[in-house]
């Protein structure tokens, strides 16, 4: 009932697109909601992360003003609350929202205001994770993201991330950005071991990541798995997304059991509810079907997420209490 790895732009409800387009003064393709949903969702024959990432162009077009950011975050919290989640950490890259003249600070401030309003109105807690981006340009933009994260840390923002095309832009190219973040004591989570190998996870750990986004290719390196276990690093697994981007070749190769067998603490997440066409409950049910995990084992993964969440110890205790009380019922109840 906790989603720690959830991208804002990849989780926009198609029904909200017209309002977001209005708020961003952007044009949408003149199609119905179902066709819009298919434009926003990945095709079954998606070949790699690069193709998957193309699905973000349309939602990003309608997230270019403060009003649209505020609305999008609020609506996402409303949906998550409706799905029975008790905590969510929503991520986005402020530097991708500047096309209409917003600054990164304004984008984050607007998202934080939607977050505050959502927390007030709904029955869940939440935080924002700001993504730096892998790419050719962007060192100045990434440094600006670090600065903005520092400014909003504890006021909506809970951590910093590195996202984008991992295969094309290796993690070690961004070490200066993360050294700066470490100096400023901003918690780090890094997408690694998704479209690149175990070395990328090793680098992310050297840079100070306390959680790894995906991390599945760590399974090919005993040494890296040992570090993950010994340091109590959490993996943010996103099963459907990993199959869609071909990060793993087939469901059988998915290394969940290897991680659990090594004592590595895994969590279950959606990555992108709309792009991947999924929900948190669906992810748990898919893992249950594929790996034959019982309800207690699945609940253990949810408890891992409570331990991994960027919350106060008081909040953590409350989240665990709610998971203990509500998880089996939540999993059984209809609706995804
Ligand atoms: Zn991601």
- How far apart, in whole angstroms, are the C-alpha atoms of residue 144 and residue 63? 19
Q: What is the pLDDT of residues 90-131, one digit of tens each?
A: 999 999 999 999 999 999 999 999 999 999 999 999 999 999
Distance in Å, CA 24 to ligand 1 centroid: 24
Q: Which two tokens stand for residue 29?
A: 């393709």
For tokens 């699905």, the residue is 55
Alpha-carbon torsion (129, 275, 236, 219), positive or negative: negative
Whether the predicted pLDDT of 333 surpasses 90? no
Q: How many CA atoms lie within 13 A of 258 on its CB side?
A: 17
- How far apart, in whole angstroms, are the C-alpha atoms of residue 82 and residue 42? 24
Number of domains in the chain: 1
Which string of DSSP letters, residue by residue, matches 49-76? HHHHHGGGHHHHHT--SHHHHHHHHHHH
pLDDT tier at 335 (50, 70, 90 boundaries)?
low
Closest CA to 11 of 34, 36, 41: 41
- How far apart, in whole angstroms, are the C-alpha atoms of residue 237 and residue 170? 20
Classified as helix, coil or strand, 214 is strand
Classified as helix, coil or strand, 247 is coil
Does pTM surpass 0.75? yes
Distance in Å, CA 107 to ligand 1 centroid: 19
Distance in Å, CA 236 to ligand 1 centroid: 9
Which residues are CB-neighbours of 174 under 8 A, at least 6 positions away? 132, 134, 142, 162, 207
Alpha-carbon torsion (198, 160, 37, 302), positive or negative: positive
Q: Which two tokens stand for residue 263?
A: 């004592």
pLDDT value, residue 277: 95
Closest CA to 126 of 99, 95, 88: 88
Rounded to an integer, the average pLDDT of 225-241 is 97
pLDDT tier at 138 (50, 70, 90 boundaries)?
confident
Q: What is the pLDDT of residues 34-73, one digit of tens each?
A: 899 989 999 888 888 778 888 999 999 999 999 999 999 9
Q: How far is CA 113 from the centre of its chain?
A: 19
Distance in Å, CA 213 to ligand 1 centroid: 6
User: Among this protein's residues, is 194 annotated catalytic?
Assistant: yes
- How far apart, in whole angstroms, are the C-alpha atoms of residue 116 and residue 227? 36
- How far apart, in whole angstroms, are the C-alpha atoms of residue 141 and residue 159? 17
Question: Which CATH number fits the domain that encloses residue 82?
Answer: 3.20.20.140
Which string of DSSP letters, residue by residue, matches 272-318? -TTTTT--HHHHHHHHHHHH---HHHHHHHHHHHHHHSSS-HHHHHH
Which string of DSSP letters, residue by residue, matches 253-282? G-THHHHHHTT-EEEE--B-TTTTT--HHH
Distance in Å, CA 191 to ligand 1 centroid: 6
pLDDT value, residue 336: 61
Distance in Å, CA 282 to ligand 1 centroid: 17
Q: What are the φ/ψ torsions at residue 188 (nearest 5 degrees)?
A: -115, 130
Question: Catalytic: which of 89, 144, 166, 194?
Answer: 194
The residue segments making up the domain with residue 78 are: 2-332
pLDDT value, residue 52: 85
pLDDT tier at 247 (50, 70, 90 boundaries)?
confident
């Amino acid at each position: 009932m906790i989603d720690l790895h959830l991208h804002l732009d990849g989780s926009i409800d198609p029904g909200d697109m017209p309002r977001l387009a209005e708020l961003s003064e952007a044009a949408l393709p003149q199609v119905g909601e179902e066709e819009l949903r298919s434009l926003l969702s990945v095709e079954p024959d998606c070949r790699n992360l690069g193709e998957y990432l193309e699905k973000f162009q349309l939602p990003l077009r309608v997230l270019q003003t403060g009003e649209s950011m505020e609305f999008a975050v609020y609506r996402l919290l409303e949906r998550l609350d409706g799905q029975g989640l008790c905590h969510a950490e929503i991520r986005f890259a402020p530097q991708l929202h500047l096309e209409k003249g917003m600054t990164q600070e304004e984008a984050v401030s607007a998202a934080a205001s939607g977050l505050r309003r959502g927390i007030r109105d709904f029955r869940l807690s939440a935080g924002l994770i700001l993504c730096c981006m892998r790419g050719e340009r962007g060192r100045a933009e990434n440094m600006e993201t670090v600065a903005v994260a520092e400014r909003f840390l504890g006021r909506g923002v809970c951590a910093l991330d590195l996202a984008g095309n991992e295969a094309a832009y290796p993690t070690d190219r961004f070490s200066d950005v993360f050294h700066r973040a470490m100096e400023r004591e901003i918690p780090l989570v890094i997408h690694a071991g998704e479209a690149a190998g175990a070395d990328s996870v090793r680098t992310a750990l050297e840079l100070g990541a306390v959680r790894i986004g995906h991390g599945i290719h760590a399974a090919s390196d005993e040494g890296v798995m040992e570090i993950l276990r010994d340091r109590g690093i959490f993996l943010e697994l996103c099963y459907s997304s990993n199959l869609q981007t071909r990060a793993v070749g087939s469901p059988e190769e998915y290394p969940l059991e290897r991680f659990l067998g090594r004592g590595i603490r895994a969590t279950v997440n959606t990555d992108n509810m709309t792009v991947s066409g999924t929900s948190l409950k669906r992810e748990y049910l898919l893992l249950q079907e594929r790996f034959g995990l019982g309800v207690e084992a699945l609940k253990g993964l949810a408890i891992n997420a409570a331990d991994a969440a960027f919350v106060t110890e008081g909040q953590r205790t409350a989240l665990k209490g709610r998971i203990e009380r509500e998880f089996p019922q939540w999993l059984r109840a209809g609706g995804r």
